[in-house]
Structure formats: structure tokens, C-alpha cells
Structure 1
Amino acid sequence: MAALQKKQSINCKVLVLGKSGVGKSYILLQYTAPPQEIVQMPKLTTVGVDYKYGTEKIEDTEVKMSIWDTAGQEKYRPIIQTYFKNSKAAILVFDLTDKQSLQDVRYWLREVKLQCGKDVAKILVGNKCDLPHEQPDQALIQEYCEEFQMEYIESSALQKINIQEIFVKLAKKIYQQHKASIPQNQLKQNSLPANEAQNQNSTSSNKQISLKNSKPKQKKENDGCC
């Protein structure tokens, strides 16, 4: 009987960053809380950090995310920096009704790069798209996305617009980066069906045994040999 393939999974720590009041906590609440629990959006102010869990299935792999919601107030920044360690992904949130919040994203992007390195999966989110607002600075958004290699999406935590999509896009980025980090020979082996992988291993093992047990050929005697 063919062996069953082991279920693939990736564990990833995700930071949600941005200015206070942009809607980080609301986004996380809408993503993780059961619909029946969200009757009316409560007034949320994060003090320090809070975290929740979410899972997205990308192809044959479960991307399991521990999502850390951070306070946006400047006085909490030294505390928040201690939570950057081991983070592999980040959601950068700004408020579409607050121009300054988009400017502030650059601070958080620099912190992510400084504290976590450049190989971090990221997505830029313009929240509160349901409210009246001017067109955001598209040139600055494009600059962020090109410099820090991330996608941009607009959302509304209040109306639950594109909330799931934020985390699906981020999970795909996490999956792609994880896949790219695996050596090609290992990736090829993992992609084989279980029975083929087992047969390949068995064949390889048999070859090693036959080489080990084979006797060296004896030199043929020849009367005319010098």
C-alpha cells in the first residue's frame, strides 16, 4: 500500500503595523472573530500588542499565521520593537481618510527592514474605503510597493470589504517565499506522488546494496600476456 503524503504546513509570525486609528484591530477582528460575535464594531484601542491566529490553504499547504496587532501610538514604539523578532510577514495599514497615515507607513517599513531583514512578506492596505476620501497619493503607494516588493489593496473593516483577501494575498506571498527557499532537489522529491517517491527511494537503496555486494572481476589469464 502506498504511503500517505505528510500534510504540508508553514508557521509564520505576522505583524500588523500602522498609525493609531487606521483600523488595524478592526481588520484583525473581522478576519478572526465568528460573524455571530460581530454585532456592532466595538471601540478598540490596542495597548502594546495583541495577537490572534488565522490559517489559509495555498495549493497543498496550510499557512498558519500568528498575527500580532500592534499599538500605533509613538509612546509604544520601543515596546513594539521587541516583538519584531522572528517575524516573517507584515501588514502595513494606513487610513484612506488620513493623508499623514500613508506618510507614516515609511517609518514602519524601515523598521521591518531593520529589525527583520528584507526577506519579509509584506502587503500594503488602504483601509476605510467605504468612507468619503480623496484619492490617495498613487505615486507614493507605487514607490512603497516597488521599493519593498509588496502588493496594495484597499479595504473596509467596517463593511468587511477585502478583509479575507488581505490575508489570502499575504499567505500566498509567504508560501512563495518558503517554496523559493527550498533546494530544488528536495522540492522535486516532495512534489512526487507518495508511491513514486517510495519506489524511487527503494530503487536508490537497491542500487547501493548491489554495488556494495558485487565482487570485483578477476583478470582473465592469457598465455601470451607479457
Structure 2
Amino acid sequence: MSTCDMFIKLMMLGDTGVGKTALVVKFVDDGFKNDDKPTFGIDFKHKMLWMGGKRVKLQIWDTAGQERHHTITKQYYRSAMGILLCYDVTREDSFQNIKRWNEQIELHGAKDVQRILVGNKADAEDIAVSPERGRALAEQYGMPFFESSAWFGQNVNEDPQWLQSFEG
């Protein structure tokens, strides 16, 4: 078993099909998962990395976005240190549903849980949600925002500065 200086548990939340699994696979394995099979319930991956001179073990929980799995997912909210709220920039409905996901965190998550809004599939041509709208929603909720592309690794593989908000 590898030793670490810090352990961080993150959750990926958002509607089905927004690319949560693709982001996790790209970040942890530097691969790309492009299939239409949704996550069933909850899955997780680990990644070790160095942050601020400390060896950090990330445990990333990839949750199912389908309504029928929400009761399972809620059980994991309270122990998460950070939650990445994901939407698909090509799907207005997934952006509108961020409000519902955020309400679920308010009801079931720890009071001090860190949140980040992620607009995924930024490489797509048929953008429905502009970065400005994503940024405005993140500001409304008081959380950081970034757009990503699991396909190209945009804001996934480079130095994960977004993780700094989950430290200590």
C-alpha cells in the first residue's frame, strides 16, 4: 500500500451523458472512454500525485446520472471533500439541471464541501452553453469554474490547479 501525506475524496456529479466517466478516465489513466454505456450506480478510481510538495492520494467517485441511481449516490455526498458538478456544453438541459444537483449537495453533502463547476465537451462545435454563462452560474454559487475536454485533455491532464481548492 502506498503511503501519502494527504487523502482527498472527490465526487463527479451531473446528468447522464455529460462525460463524467470520460473525464475520470482521462485524468487517471490518460485514456479516453467513448462509449454509450452509462455508469451503473457508482464507480471509483485512485490517482497519486504531488501537490505543494505533498504526496496526495485522490479517490474519485464517478456517479451515475440517471434518476434511478440518485438514492444510491446521495449516500456518498457527506464523505466527499470535493464535488465536481459537470454539465455538457452542448446540452442546455444538463446545464439547467446543475441547480438541482447543487440543491442535492446542500441537502446531503457536508457543510464545508468544496465545489467546482465543469463545462465538459468544450471541443464540440455545437455549443449550447457559452463559457460566460458557465462562469456566471459558478459565480452565483460561489465556486470555481472551468471548461474541459476529455477528448483533448483540456483542463484535465495539465497541472491540476483546480485541485488546490481541495487542499487541507
How many Å apart are 1:27 and its aligned residue? 0.7
Match of 2:145 in 1: 152
Match of 2:75 in 1: 82
- Report Cα offsets for 1:166-204 as digits up to 9, x if no partner: x823321111xx2xxxxxxxxxxxxxxxxxxxxxxxxxx
Match of 1:72 in 2: 65
Aligned residues with identical type, % of pairs? 29
With 66-75 and 117-126 compared, the bigger mean Cα shift is at 117-126
Residue 20 of structure 1 is aligned with which of 3, 12, 16?
16
Larger Rg: 1
The one-letter amino acid paired with 1:171 is L
Would you say 1:136 and 2:129 are equivalent positions?
Answer: yes
Match of 2:97 in 1: 104
Following superposition, which runs of at least 4 residues in structure 1 exceed 4 angstroms of deviation?
137-140
How many Å apart are 1:143 and its aligned residue? 4.4
Q: So what's the TM-score if we normalise by structure 1?
A: 0.65
Length, aligned pairs only: 166
Q: So what's the TM-score if we normalise by structure 2?
A: 0.86
Match of 2:27 in 1: 31
- Report Cα offsets for 1:111-151 as digits up to 9, x if no partner: 12222233112211111111112352566534432343321
Match of 2:166 in 1: 174
**RMSD in angstroms over aligned alpha carbons?**
2.3
How many Å apart are 1:78 and its aligned residue? 1.0
Tell me the SS of whatever aligns to 2:157: helix
Higher strand share: 2
Structure 1 stretches lacking a partner, 5+ long: 1-6, 179-226
2-structure distance, mates of 1:118, 1:142: 23
Structure with bigger RCO (C-alpha 8 Å, 6+ apart) = 2
1-structure distance, mates of 2:22, 2:49: 19
Counterparts of residues 119-134 of structure 1 (less than 5 Å): 119-134=112-127
- Report Cα offsets for 1:31-78 as digits up to 9, x if no partner: 11255xx5x734441000000012332212233211000000111111
